[in-house]
Structure formats: C-alpha cells, structure tokens
Structure 1
C-alpha cells in the first residue's frame, strides 16, 4: 500500500519594497505623538500581515517605509491595508485630525530593491542554458 506524502509548500523570497506616501495636501501632521503612533501602528499591521519592516522614517509631510514582503501580497494591497487602518486609527485618536475625510492621498511611490542588479540577473539566466 503506497502512501502519498505531501510536503508543506515553502516560499523562499526576497522582495523588498520602498514606499513613500503623503498626507492629503502635504499637510505637515506627521510630527510628535502622531509620528510615533503611526510608526507603532505600521509595526503592528506589518506583523499581522507577515511583512518585515526594514526601516521606517517620517518627515512632517511624508513617510518612507522599507519592507520585505512575501510574493503573495501585492504592493497595492500592502498600501491599501496600511493607509486604511492608519488613517482610521489616527483620526480616531487625535482630535486635530478628526475633520479630515481621509488622512492619506490616494497615490504613493513604490520601488523594488534588491541585492543584485538587473544585469547580474540577466547574465545568470542566460548562462543557465550553457551549464551542464
């Protein structure tokens, strides 16, 4: 009698995203307690959705976030979750933000980052056909 053994699917990936996002009208609201609370919320949300924060820093009117994410979640899904939750929570917790219909603009910047260049990857792929 044969048994079928199923191996657990393991994803090995290294996908790093650099996000930059801004409050509506570039309002200078990411200061003091708001900035600190935003960083805590980002950390909690990222942990919940299995994203590793590599770096986070805010200026008065924008936030940089550098993360390592699994390929199962798209950059747009990451931003939707982060901006949605932080907007709602920060506006609930800080009275001077309550009048805003939403905290963040709909747009954001995202870029991938890695340890090797596109040229290195291209050469590696091309050399695969010459390997024995």
Structure 2
C-alpha cells in the first residue's frame, strides 16, 4: 500500500489503527449470517464517519480491522464506536446471541497505530534535530 496523506481543515495526516476485539468469553459466535451482517455493519459505519476501512477479517472468535480514521478520533474512541454500533444491531437481528451472551463484545480491545515510519526512525530524527537546524540569525520554535 502506498502512503497517501489525507487532509482536513488545519491538518494533513496519514493515520492507521489496527483494532482487534472479541465476543464476550471468546465464544465462537461470529460465523455464517452473523459474520456477513457484522462485516456489512462495520463497512457501513466506517463510510458514515469518513473512516477508510483498509482491511477487515471476521473470524469466529474475533474481529481484526485496519482503519484509517479522522485525526481527532482517538484509538479507543474508534474501537468503541465500532463495538457499540455493531453490538446493538447484531444483537437486535439475532435473538440467539441475546440468550447466549449478556453482551456481544468483551470490555477490552487491542489497538495499535500503524505507520510507515519506525519508532527508531522517529527517535533518531528527534535526537538529531539540533544538528540539522542552522545556527545564527533566525527564530526557533
């Protein structure tokens, strides 16, 4: 995937979040029609709020999502929006899930940022900043 910055008023950004979440008790309930409906809901929710769904995989016991969100949305906010929306709609459409589980999703999720620059590169860039700034006559921020 090539790197492509997106813009919004006052910012240019290239953010990506890898989000993973599981059903309560890691039950094997995300298959068949439930899986299809869940994928449909996640893609629809992403499109509604300008979040680009880059990759999505629904396994029987977890969901893996690579999403490029708006920069004002924190990783935990993005995860909670997908989990809350899908839980409400999936449980409404599949009565057997309401009887099997007190809630569809576990309380936790995993979120990692995804980027084209490694931690070491960023650290080195910051540490070497003073070496690259010209000395003399100009204001420094």
TM range (shorter): 0.7 to 0.9
The question of whether the paired residues in 2 share the 8 Å contact of 1:87 and 1:104 is answered with yes
Q: Which runs of 5+ in 2 are unaligned?
A: 1-7, 135-141
2:24 corresponds to 1:24: yes
SS of the residue aligned with 1:42?
A: helix
TM superposition shift of 1:64: 0.5
Structure 1 residue 69 displacement after superposition: 1.4
Q: Deviations over 1:40-99 (max 9, x none)?
A: 101111111221111000111011011111220111111221111111100111121122
Q: Are positions 1:112 and 2:113 aligned together? A: yes
Indicate conservation of the 8 Å contact 1:20/1:110, yes or no.
Answer: yes
For 2:133 and 2:75, locate their aligned partners in 1 and report how far apart those are by CA, in whole Å: 35
Normalised TM-score (structure 1): 0.86
Q: Which moved more, 1:70-79 or 1:34-43?
A: 70-79
Q: Which runs of 5+ in 1 are unaligned?
A: 1-7
Distance in 2 between residues matched to 1:70 and 1:88, nearest whole Å:
23
Please say if 1:40 is aligned against 2:35. no
Spell out the pairing of 1:84-123 with structure 2 (5 A cutoff): 84-99=84-99, 100-123=101-124
Cα contact 1:14–1:70 (8 A) shared by 2: no
Q: Residues 14-47 of structure 1, C-alpha deviation per residue, up to 9 Å, x if partnerless?
A: 1111111000011101101111111110111111
